[in-house]
């Protein structure tokens, strides 16, 4: 249990680790789905190709879209891409980094599905069974079969129980031939994916490491900023609801007192604290205006010290800030007459 708890805490440490864990779970789920899938080739000349390639390509596409759906950053990317310019510019490099990061994680489960499918060989056997070279593997000079009959016989190769073309080509020979081709394609696909991942990891620091660090930093910043904004809005909503409920019950108690129903009144201890968390936003219209302002013109990414107020206005408008003078120290001396 301790190991599972450590793994779970690692996945919850940051957004990137969490999405890596989700992609790993999806990759394992894709293999379990394929092992539990009941593959039934139609064994018809005009349907084998569509069924085999459909099983090979359609589930990876669904898993790819599911990888985007499960990624929490897809809504953040769409919001950052569609928001108005406002007071903060939109960096295309950060948007590209976010999209590429999500696409790389979403491609893990489809790549696992394609690899497992090609290594198993059933899809390729079903899709290309009519393309088996009968001239080199079987008896192409069968006198009683036309070209259409040969295609119908070859289409039944994946269905061993109804195959009746042993005189044309042996079922074991055709299946082994197609399965060897499928496994060769599968290992080539695995090698290609591994080589591409290795080259990306190896060559990326050699060309654009500074740009990559900048894009990664601001991508994490956007994610953290969104979480903090949601937490702040939730805290404000909680304080707003608490003050509204307290005012409602205070009004009810006032009405009851006016109706000569004497009730003990006690001021809530946390009323002032809840009112301070409202930060001056105490009505629905102001809150809606603040939310629209956050979306339309986010504050620029420039931290500055708040200006100090003076008697005539704000210091930062035309004159340098003045530091208050240090208080004068006074000392007292005591003399004793001896």
Tell me how far CA of residue 81 lies from CA of 44, 50, 261, in angstroms: 48, 38, 59
Going by C-alpha positions, the residue among 89, 91, 95, 93 that lies closest to residue 299 is 89
DSSP, res 283: S
Phi and psi at 140, nearest 5°, equal -80, -15
Q: Which two tokens stand for residue 201?
A: 């990891």
DSSP, res 314: B
Determine which helix (DSSP H) or strand (DSSP E) holds 234, and give its type and residue range.
Answer: helix 209-258
pLDDT at 29: 83
DSSP, res 140: T
The stretches in the chain having pLDDT less than 70 are 1-20, 140-143, 255-275, 305-338
pLDDT at 68: 85
Residue 211: partners with Cβ closer than 8 Å, 6 or more residues away = 93
pLDDT at 186: 94
DSSP, res 128: S
Residue 256: partners with Cβ closer than 8 Å, 6 or more residues away = 263
Determine which helix (DSSP H) or strand (DSSP E) holds 324, and give its type and residue range.
Answer: none
pLDDT at 178: 94
Decide: 287 and 281 in contact? Cβ < 8 Å. Answer: yes
Decide: 64 and 48 in contact? Cβ < 8 Å. Answer: no
Q: Which two tokens stand for residue 105?
A: 């994680």
First-to-last CA distance in the chain? Answer: 81
Report the alpha-carbon distance of residue 293 to residue 283 in Å, rounded: 16
Tokens 């976010």 -> residue: 98
Residue 246: partners with Cβ closer than 8 Å, 6 or more residues away = 268, 271, 274
Q: DSSP letter string over 56-96? A: HHHHHHHHHHHHHHH-THHHHHHHHHHS--TTS---HHHHH
Phi and psi at 19, nearest 5°, equal -70, -35
């Amino acid at each position: 249990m301790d190991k599972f708890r450590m793994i779970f805490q690692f996945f919850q440490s940051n957004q990137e680790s969490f999405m890596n864990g989700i992609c790993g779970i999806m990759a394992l789920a894709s293999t379990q789905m394929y092992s539990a899938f009941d593959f039934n080739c139609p064994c018809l000349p005009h349907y084998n190709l569509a069924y085999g390639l459909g099983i090979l390509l359609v589930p990876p596409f669904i898993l790819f879209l599911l990888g985007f759906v499960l990624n929490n950053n897809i809504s953040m990317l769409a919001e950052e891409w569609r928001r108005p310019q406002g007071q903060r510019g939109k960096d295309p490099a950060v948007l590209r980094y976010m999209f590429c990061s999500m696409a790389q994680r979403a491609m893990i489960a489809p790549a696992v599905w394609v690899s497992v499918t090609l290594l198993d060989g059933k899809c390729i056997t079903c899709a290309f069974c009519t393309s088996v070279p009968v001239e080199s593997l079987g008896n192409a000079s069968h006198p009683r079969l036309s070209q259409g009959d040969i295609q119908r016989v070859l289409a039944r190769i994946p269905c061993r129980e109804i195959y009746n073309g042993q005189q044309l080509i042996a079922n074991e020979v055709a299946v082994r031939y197609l399965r060897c081709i499928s496994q060769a394609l599968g290992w080539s696909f695995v090698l290609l994916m591994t080589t591409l991942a290795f080259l990306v990891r190896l060559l990326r620091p050699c060309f654009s490491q500074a740009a990559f660090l900048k894009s990664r930093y601001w991508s994490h910043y956007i994610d953290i900023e969104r979480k903090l904004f949601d937490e702040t809005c939730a805290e404000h909503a909680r304080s707003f609801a608490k003050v509204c409920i307290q005012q409602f019950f205070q009004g009810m108690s006032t009405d009851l007192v006016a109706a000569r129903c004497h009730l003990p009144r006690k001021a809530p201890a946390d009323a002032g604290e809840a009112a301070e968390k409202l930060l001056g936003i105490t009505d629905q219209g102001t809150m809606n205006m603040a939310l629209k302002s956050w979306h339309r013109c986010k504050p620029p990414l420039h931290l500055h010290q708040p200006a100090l107020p003076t008697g005539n206005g704000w210091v930062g408008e035309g004159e340098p800030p003045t530091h208050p003078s240090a208080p004068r120290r006074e000392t007292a001396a005591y003399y004793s007459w001896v």
